[in-house]
Chains A and B, each alone.
Chain A
Amino acid sequence: MKKFFAQTYLWILLALLYAPIIIIGIFSFTEAKVLGNWTGFSTKLYTSLFSGRVGGGLLSAIENTFTIAIIAAAVSTVLGSIAAIGIHNMRGKKRQIITLFNNIPMLNPDIITGISLFLLFITMGISQGYMTVVLAHIAFCTPYVVLSVMPRLQQMNPNIYEAALDLGATPFQALRKVIIPEIRPGMISGFILAFTLSIDDFAVTIFTKGNEGLETLSTFIYADARKGGLTPELRPLSTIIFVTVLILLIIINVRARRAERKQNI
């Protein structure tokens, strides 16, 4: 009986949490301009989203979002993995300080990260646009890569690097043939994480994108919503984003759980 009430509570809460997204998902399959009107099943919004007939730069916003995310995630993964190896081999005070600074972007509210980077770019006289957005995204993604590579290094038998040297590998060969294969799962998780965070970001992007008309999905949605219109094509787009994130997260979780299970054996 207790269990019944408990489960009911959970499902009511979940229904509330997911209701808005489900409504958007359902109404992405109808043509009506105004949300809430059902004018029969149609995939027209999806086709018009992909055919490029939508104006207002939605397509270029999609393109920007994905290229920025890929570049930022790739650079963060390289930078963060090298940094993690370095931090792993540090001791004492130095290590504490760098860990503290690594945590700052994760603890800071996005708006502060965004404004602080905005101030940095104007102070340095860097004109803002694609490059500054990429740099900003690298700045807040890399800590998460460090965080996901670190446990792999801690689980690693510390002697295997030495074993490689002992068998005649140069330090660089030891890195390439032994350390990287060992931390690869952490690097992949870190990459996926950085990628999702970058795609998701709104607050940092809006302060660092400049005035040259660069838009990512988030800023496009924001601008569009402020106009009060809400382009109907945003409904299929939100649905697609939701499903993509869902799939990526399931992948990360399955990987994590598999690694955990492997470790327990």
Chain B
Amino acid sequence: MKFIRNIFTFLSRRSSWAIPYTLFLGMFVALPLVLIVIFSFTTNQGEFSLINFEKFVTQPEAVNTFVYSIGIALVTTFLCILLGYPAAYILSNKNLNRSQTTVMLFILPMWINILVRTLATVALFDFVHLPLGEGALIFGMVYNFLPFMIYPIYNTLQKMDHSLIEAAEDLGAKPSIVFWKVVVPLSMPGVTSGIMMVFMPTISTFAIAELLTMNNIKLFGTTIQENINNGMWNYGAALSLIMLVIIGITSLFSDSEEQSQNEGGII
């Protein structure tokens, strides 16, 4: 009887309502990540081994794909900053743009199926008779991920205390000085967040590279997918872990709270 009452008081404490979800997170988020690590360090017989990592280091093709993917991701990220920063700046500046709808238009593509967007790029290249290949790949990547760069930068610029700019002007700074010495440093959290949100999916994409290059160029994500599909689970897991480490290193430069805010951005 007392036991039943204890259970009842326990359930009526509302903090215990998170228990089902905690179990769910343990099962479907924590455990799977642990499994990636376990698979990486074992053979397909289940014995501990570093063979998967040895295989990666000794295979020139895998390493080349890896380096090439990082290169593509860096170029994409750089181009996104170059194109996205001015756009975010204009959108957030009340003197240059007042329309919320324009902001919406820039954010919207974030929510459209990546395959549909990629197919659209392929269609565009077909339409203007341009060949698919490296150029199409970079264009497609920038086209896919540009909104993910614009949104976080726009967000930080938007929240920026406008009186800081006025203070700088008041202290005698020229507009160009105000921009480089006040606006840019203050928007850095948005830029790092944007770099994360562009670099991370670019390095981890698969499928879209095949579509944009007619299967001519392979990215690291595709290599992982192929291995998993061909039953090389342990090697695939090891490659995933390598990717996770790269992403983990990148994310050290960014504030995860800020980022999760930006991902949930549009709601």
B102 and A10 within 8 A (CB): yes
Q: Does A265 contact B (CB under 8 A)?
A: no
The listed residue with most A CB atoms (<10 A of its CB), out of B86, B203, B240, is B240
For B, the interface residue count at a CB cutoff of 8 angstroms equals 85
Q: Does A46 contact B (CB under 8 A)?
A: no
Chain B residues with CB under 8 A of A122: 233
| Known contacts A83-B18, A112-B240, A10 near B87 by CB under 8 Å | yes
A82 and B111 within 8 A (CB): no
- The complex places the Cα of A199 from the Cα of B247 at a distance, in Å, of 26
User: Which segment of B55-63, B64-72, B116-124, B159-167 sits at the interface?
Assistant: B116-124
| Known contacts A90-B15, A106-B260, A245-B111, A23 near B123 by CB under 8 Å | yes
B204 and A109 within 8 A (CB): yes
Chain A 66-89 near chain B by CB (<8 Å), digits 1 or 0 = 000000000000011011011111
- The complex places the Cα of A9 from the Cα of B90 at a distance, in Å, of 9
A120 and B35 within 8 A (CB): yes
Chain B 206-221 near chain A by CB (<8 Å), digits 1 or 0 = 1100110000000001
Rank and list the top 8 A-B pairs by shortest CB-CB distance, nearest first.
A86-B18, A20-B120, A83-B21, A116-B32, A86-B17, A109-B204, A139-B28, A89-B14
21 A-B contacts (beta carbon < 8 Å): A6-B93, A10-B87, A17-B147, A24-B120, A36-B127, A85-B17, A86-B15, A91-B15, A101-B30, A104-B30, A109-B243, A115-B224, A120-B31, A135-B28, A144-B264, A148-B267, A206-B207, A207-B228, A226-B211, A241-B113, A253-B266
Chain A residues in contact with chain B, CB under 8 A?
2-3, 6-7, 9-10, 13-14, 16-21, 23-24, 27, 34-36, 79-80, 82-83, 85-91, 94, 98, 101-107, 109-113, 115-120, 122-123, 135-136, 138-139, 142, 144, 146-148, 171, 189, 193, 196, 199-200, 202-203, 206-207, 217-218, 221-222, 225-226, 230, 234, 238, 241-242, 245-246, 249, 252-253, 256
Chain B residues in contact with chain A, CB under 8 A?
12-22, 24-33, 35-36, 39, 83, 86-87, 90-91, 93, 95-97, 102, 104-106, 108-109, 111-117, 119-124, 126-127, 143, 146-147, 200-201, 203-207, 210-211, 221, 224-225, 228, 233, 236-237, 240, 243-244, 247, 251, 256, 259-260, 263-264, 266-267
